[in-house]
Amino acid sequence: MTLLTENPVHDLFLVVTTVLVLIYPFFHRSYQYWKNRNFPYLEPTFPLGNSPYLFTSTLGFGLDTVKYYDEMKKKGYKFGGIYTITTPALVLVDPDYVRDVLTKDFHHFVDRGHYHNERDDPISAHLFSLNEKKWRNIRTKLTPTFTSGKMKMMFHTVLETSKYMTDAIETCALERKDIDIREFLSCFTTDVIGSCAFGIECNSFKGTEAEFRHMGREIFAVRGLRILNLILISKMPRLALKLGLKAINDHVSKFFYEAVQKTVKYREDNNFTRPDFLQLLIDIKNQTKDTENPFTMDQLVSQVFVFFVAGFDTSSSTMNFALYELCKHQDVQDRVREEVNEVLERHGGQFTYESIGELKYLQQVIDEAQRLFPPLVVLTRVCVKDYKLRDTDLVLEKGTRVVIPLYSIHRDPEYYPEPDKFDPERFNSENKKSRHPFVHLPFGEGPRNCIGLRFGLMQSKIGLATILSKFRLRISPKTDMPLRLHEGVLLLKSVNKLYVTAEKI
């Protein structure tokens, strides 16, 4: 005897309903986690908890955190529990608790909790994702490579690369062509990282599809079975690790391994050195090869990989959103251009490492753009040992994920009146001093902040300054306004492209 019928839709409905009924008690017990521990929490819904969707390709929380933050803020919560399917996570609302997690009590929250598979996918075991002991080992080795002196060493490489971009913009200006400015900025940052991290001239503006630019796109490409891979990695990381699932596409890993190993071999065989990030890593590898904790080739490749991803994507996104706002606010664009020209005049018409540091108003523009459009939508940490939250008797258990919703904090009217308004004066010295220091965190904060923030800012300031010193930009009628943001991504991007027109000055 069978309950199935000859109607396949009806049969599928019966099967799904039966499965849901059978697993409901398990979910119900799981959804008592926060209640049993007396934490404030948002009521979950079977079977996704507080997640708005199951089938997502992101490897973390996206703009879905906005609704958590807003609801908790209305309820007066300083923090609150949620569930991603059945997994509990704590969302922080009050910036004092953000400071505790990122700095004051950092030793309880060393790990980010990002998936990596060192055995099957060694390129994923980079500084951003590694856990406590291995992270400390790598971070200690890499910190000296990001000093001001090392940034100055790479400054001229970045500046020279910016000329390819301005030449391409000038061609479009003369031909009165619309410019997909995000694509131009991505080409610029790809060329910069290709040169500084690989010692390779990528030529992304040469007309043909540059291989590094193509790989930059492939890193975030989601298609076919990779969608299922990413769902398992995101929702069930322990199972994904047991199954040996990889966060990085095989052909992407192969490309980066071969590119790095080929360059390293050439330099070592020919005793060739170059003032770039890769050379600094080669030096670390050679200096530590006979030590207890050597810096291996796998580690070298994975750090170059994450430097490439962070360097080309977050910086191009920051510049894209900054130019979007500058196009909408021509008075601000004029003021930035005036500052750039004044600095150039003081330095003989040339950009120098020192002169870029004098662009204070441009820095305010970048700060405000990153407030409105933070490169990372959220920060996550994992509690590595039981932790009592300040001013409470509540204990956060080891292994619990903590979510810091940057996008929402950056747009909270309590800290930023008229939060959707673009106003660089929010970041003049006086206004910065009057705000809580943990309500603007585009690079994170504390020991696990972005190690490459100096390089990222230098690259963004050079890119914006060189463009604005030569061109006036306006939004093209081709642009579908306003820009709309992808909701399910960790690295913030717009759905629609920003097309601009350029007028040579």
Interatomic CA distance for residues 126 and 116, integer angstroms: 8
Question: 264: closest CA among 242, 240, 289, 281?
Answer: 281
Ligand-binding annotation for 383, yes or no, is no
Question: Number of H helices and number of E strands within the chain?
Answer: 20, 9
First and final CA of the chain: distance in angstroms?
Answer: 82
Interatomic CA distance for residues 368 and 422, integer angstroms: 7
Identify the DSSP state of 399: T
Radius of gyration of the chain (CA): 24
The three-class DSSP label of residue 292 is coil
* Contact by Cβ (8 Å): 202, 194: yes
- Side-chain-side CA neighbours of residue 358 (13 Å): 15
b/e string for 303-318 if b means 16 or more Cβ within 10 A? bbbbbbbbbbbbbbbb
Tokens of 225: 């079975």
Interatomic CA distance for residues 320 and 188, integer angstroms: 12
Cis peptide before 482 (omega within 30 of 0): yes
Which strands form 401-404's sheet, in the order they lie side by side? 79-84, 87-92, 401-404, 379-382
Identify the DSSP state of 200: -
The H or E element containing residue 91 is strand 87-92
* Contact by Cβ (8 Å): 83, 30: yes
Alpha-carbon distances, residue 417 vs 65, 377, 472, 482 (angstroms): 21, 20, 30, 21
Concatenate the DSSP letters of all residues of 432-462 into one string: HHHS-TTS--TT--STTS-TTHHHHHHHHHH
List 387's β-bridge partners, or say none: 396
CA dihedral 459, 344, 167, 201 (to 10 degrees): -40
Interatomic CA distance for residues 419 and 352, integer angstroms: 34
Concatenate the DSSP letters of all residues of 1-47 into one string: --S--S-HHHHHHHHHHHHHHHHHHHHHHHTTHHHHTT--BPPPBTT
Interatomic CA distance for residues 383 and 108, integer angstroms: 6
Cis peptide before 419 (omega within 30 of 0): no
Q: Can you say which residues are annotated as belonging to the binding site?
A: 450
Q: Can you say which residues are annotated as belonging to the binding site for heme?
A: 450
